[in-house]
Amino acid sequence: MKINDTWITLNSLRLRGRHGVLEQERTVGGDFVVSVSLRVFTDDAALLRDDLEGTVNYADVYHTVKETFDIPSQLLEHVARRMAEALLARFPRIATVRLTIEKVAPPMQADCRSAAFTLEAER
């Protein structure tokens, strides 16, 4: 069997954060949903020997995402870039980061469930 790519995905992480252009958003905070997909260099340690050393621990990925997310920003673009940089810096096995940050019920005059920004970055 030939394996082309391996991905780790954390779907729909529900987080509370202080991100937004309006001061009220950064003071009170709001609800967000973050999804992260990582193309990883997975080796035989994980694929054949069932050893975590051959891949990326998704619990550690979550902690990196959360630490980065907890720093307030005005723009989701800024949060996403910091998050991608932190993941690539901490985990040498990550080749590509694709992440989406959704702001639930954004403060605007529209019937809108969420507003989102998606970023893809690679090593």
> Measured between alpha carbons, how far is 51 from 21 in angstroms, rounded to an integer?
44
DSSP label at 19? B
103 an active-site residue? Answer: yes
Domain count, the chain: 1
- Region 89-110: what's the mean pLDDT? 95
Residue 1 within a domain: no
Q: Which of 4, 103, 115, 118 is catalytic?
A: 103
pTM (two decimals): 0.94
For residue 26, the model assigns a pLDDT of 87
The share of the chain scoring above pLDDT 70, in percent, equals 100
Q: What are the backbone dihedrals phi and psi of residue 120, each rounded to the nearest 5 degrees, phi first?
A: -125, 130
- Express each pLDDT in 24-69 by its tens digit: 888 899 999 999 999 999 999 999 999 999 999 999 999 999 999 9
Domain extent, residue 30, equals 6-122
Q: Go through 63-99 and write b for each residue having 16 or more CB atoms within 10 A of its CB, e for each that does not.
A: ebbeebbeeebeebeebbbebbebbbeebebbbbbbb
Residue 64 within a domain: yes
Average pLDDT, the chain: 96
